[in-house]
């Protein structure tokens, strides 16, 4: 991971993107270039931008959630570069990607500091024609083989000590060839593998199924589906780490 400073601090994962600058993290810049190919709205908007003829990237700004977010919005206290959420997520993604784990390829990130306050943005390579588990379950039933693939992927991350702070069905993606990816590692970290936090991760995931089941008009999910996923996960966790 290369670091360069031009009034702000930039993290670059590969030399191919060394020309990126502050404009590269501004959605308005990409809109003026007619380079925004898609937008996905959640708590914050993710912009899909055309970096080159062969690269689509996802641009995401860091926003606060909860009650404090209503006051401070996107402002964070700066207590050191390595303590910023931007640096921590970007460096974690770099580490996970280098290990061959199924995460979006990190491209670049920036920390914009003003006195004791900073704001941040991150660019990752888009997963081609990706569809979230939540989106798919609104259209069709999930096959046993897909439940197994999801369970196997989560177990692989847990065995590697990867804690996902917001493991939910919107952050589990199917690629075009039905490979499973995990996204959004804000506040994630590497931990010593332990049953307690792994169970908490899975409990959070389970809550997201039921939350969306009550929210969506059509949603193909049952308790049996969760039991299937959980059984595949437990079976995978019992296997020796290769």
Catalytic residues, by residue number, are 166
C-alpha–C-alpha distance, residues 50 and 36, integer Å: 6
Crossing angle between the packed helical segments 223-238 and 144-159, to the nearest 10 degrees: 40
Alpha helices in 54-185 (DSSP H): 66-72, 85-98, 133-137, 144-159
Residue 238, helix vs strand vs coil: helix
For the chain, how far is it from start to end, CA to CA, in angstroms?
A: 27
User: What dihedral angle (degrees, nearest 10) is formed by the CA atoms of 145, 155, 172, 231?
Assistant: 50
Hey, what long-range contacts does 239-242 have (CB within 8 A, 24 or more apart)?
241/159
**DSSP H or E run through 21:** none
Residue pair 52/62 in contact (Cβ under 8 Å)? The answer is no
Give the residue from 127, 109, 124 showing the smallest Cα distance to 21. 109
């Amino acid at each position: 991971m290369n670091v360069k400073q031009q009034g702000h601090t930039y993290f670059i994962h590969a030399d191919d993107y060394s020309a990126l600058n502050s404009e590269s993290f501004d959605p308005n810049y990409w809109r003026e270039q007619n380079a925004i190919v898609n937008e996905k709205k959640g708590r914050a908007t993710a912009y899909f931008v055309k970096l080159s003829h062969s690269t689509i990237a996802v641009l995401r700004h860091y926003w606060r959630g909860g009650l404090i977010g209503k006051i401070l919005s996107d402002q964070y206290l700066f207590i050191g570069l390595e303590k910023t959420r931007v640096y921590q997520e970007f460096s974690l993604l770099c580490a996970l990607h280098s290990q061959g784990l199924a995460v979006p390829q990190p491209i670049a990130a920036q920390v914009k500091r003003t006195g004791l306050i900073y704001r941040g943005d991150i660019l990752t390579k888009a997963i081609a024609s990706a569809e979230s588990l939540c989106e798919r379950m609104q259209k069709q039933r999930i096959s046993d083989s897909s439940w197994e693939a999801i369970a196997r992927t989560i177990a692989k991350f847990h065995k590697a000590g990867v804690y996902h702070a917001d493991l939910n069905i919107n952050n589990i993606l199917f690629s075009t060839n039905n490979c499973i990816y995990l996204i959004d590692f804000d506040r994630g970290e590497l931990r010593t593998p332990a049953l307690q936090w792994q169970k908490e991760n899975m409990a959070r995931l389970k809550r997201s199924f039921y939350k969306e089941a009550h929210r969506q008009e059509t949603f193909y999910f049952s308790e049996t589906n969760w039991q299937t996923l959980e059984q595949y996960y437990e079976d995978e966790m019992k296997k020796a780490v290769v």
